[in-house]
């Protein structure tokens, strides 16, 4: 055992064959030095950006920043590549304050430090300002079972509204290869054909207010952690206190088990998702706008407005599950109460789309 350890410690980098190997790449299992790891990690992301034409010179780009490893590494690498390859981008950090005491308030302090470290302007939007509720208040009402449904819907819209305030051309997020593979599996398990057809797209929302890009589409989570660790980046590593029972967690564990047996499995799942063909007879939802707040929606009311209406009327389960908006009787009730100016009449968001 000791001899094997000495052998591994003395092994030269697989790529440069000059420096001593410092790590084994999770994606390829190659033993390489730190310098080569930095180089291939950054170059792979650069090639993804170039081949997919994610950006154009002069564009304003918002980076979804949570303070976690993915968004912190994304902000750092995108800043480096922007300078190194003259992308000509104006970069901004955009954070969402969900109102989770002991979690989001701490992670936002990390983002504020990143603002100074990377020299990127920061914009923070909050659930309280946009929706009149914090996640702490929502969890008190609904418990821990379905809170991720509310947070996911509200967060997605909050990012779009924050991006609109910044007047950016695109929003980039730190979704990595593991995240996308998990989403492919989840959409298969849920039978969600509409989302399955677009979840592997590197750019989404071209038909919406602001397109979203995923430069980390083919980047493994383990490599992001390694990069952050070796570069000594400042990031927040605590998991959300309200997400231990999230359905996605089970898919994540399954992906990790597959990766241990066969690292290539993550990329293969993404490739399978890309190659799925949706039957022409499958009815796809038609994109429209919410009658209440103007946000993109395939129903008369967007999901955020339906969820908010349930919260404000003390019926938090109203928009959970496969409901198709509000029933006719409830719509009549809502129309009659729309004239009030209290929080019950508050629309989801303070911006018009």
Annotated binding site for ATP: 64-66, 70, 96, 174, 179
171: tokens are 């929003």
Torsion (CA) 291, 294, 297, 299 in degrees, nearest 10: 0
d(CA 150, CA 246): 12
Nearest to 89 by CA among 99, 97, 79: 79
Angle ∠(125,126,128) on CA atoms, nearest 5: 145
207: tokens are 């038909």
The values of phi and psi at residue 296, to 5°, are -60, 140
The label of the residue with tokens 């983002």 reads: 111
The label of the residue with tokens 């967007």 reads: 302
Radius of gyration for the chain, computed over Cα atoms and rounded to the nearest angstrom:
22
* DSSP string for 273-289: HHH----TTSPPPPPEE
Residue burial 231-263, b: 16+ Cβ < 10 Å; e: rest: eebbbbeeebebeeebeeeebbeebeebbeeeb
For residue 61, what is the DSSP state?
A: E
Residue ranges for the binding site?
A: 64-66, 70, 96, 174, 179
Check if the beta carbon of residue 187 is closer than 8 Å to that of residue 196: yes
């Amino acid at each position: 055992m000791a001899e094997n350890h000495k052998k591994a410690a003395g092994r030269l980098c697989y790529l440069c064959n000059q420096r001593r190997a410092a790590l084994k790449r999770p994606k390829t299992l190659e033993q390489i030095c730190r310098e080569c790891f930095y180089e291939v990690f950054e170059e792979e992301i650069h090639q993804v950006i170039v081949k997919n034409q994610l950006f154009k010179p002069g564009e304003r780009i918002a980076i979804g920043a949570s303070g976690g490893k993915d968004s912190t590494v994304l902000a750092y690498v995108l800043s480096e590549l922007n300078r190194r390859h003259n992308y000509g981008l104006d970069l901004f950090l955009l954070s969402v304050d969900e109102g989770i005491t002991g979690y989001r308030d701490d992670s936002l302090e990390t983002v504020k430090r990143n603002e100074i470290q990377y020299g990127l302007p920061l914009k923070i939007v909050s659930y309280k300002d946009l929706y009149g509720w914090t996640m702490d208040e929502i969890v008190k009402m609904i418990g821990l079972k379905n809170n991720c449904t509310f947070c996911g819907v509200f967060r997605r819209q909050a990012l779009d509204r924050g991006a609109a305030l910044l007047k950016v051309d695109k929003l980039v997020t730190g979704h990595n290869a593991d995240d996308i593979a998990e989403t492919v599996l989840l959409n298969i398990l849920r039978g969600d054909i509409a989302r399955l057809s677009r979840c592997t797209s590197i750019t989404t929302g071209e038909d919406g207010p602001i397109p979203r890009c995923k430069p980390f589409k083919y980047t493994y989570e383990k490599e992001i952690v390694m990069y952050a660790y070796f570069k000594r980046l400042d990031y927040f590593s605590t998991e959300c206190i309200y997400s231990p029972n999230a359905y996605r967690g089970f898919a994540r564990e399954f992906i990790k088990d597959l990766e241990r047996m066969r690292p290539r499995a993550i990329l293969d799942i993404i490739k399978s998702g890309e190659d799925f063909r949706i039957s022409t007879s499958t009815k796809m939802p038609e994109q429209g706008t919410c009658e209440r707040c103007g946000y993109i929606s395939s129903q008369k009311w967007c999901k955020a407005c339906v969820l908010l209406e349930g919260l404000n009327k003390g019926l938090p389960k109203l928009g959970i599950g496969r409901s198709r908006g509000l029933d006719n009787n409830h719509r009549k009730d809502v129309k009659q109460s729309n004239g009030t100016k209290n929080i019950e009449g508050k629309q989801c968001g303070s911006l018009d789309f």
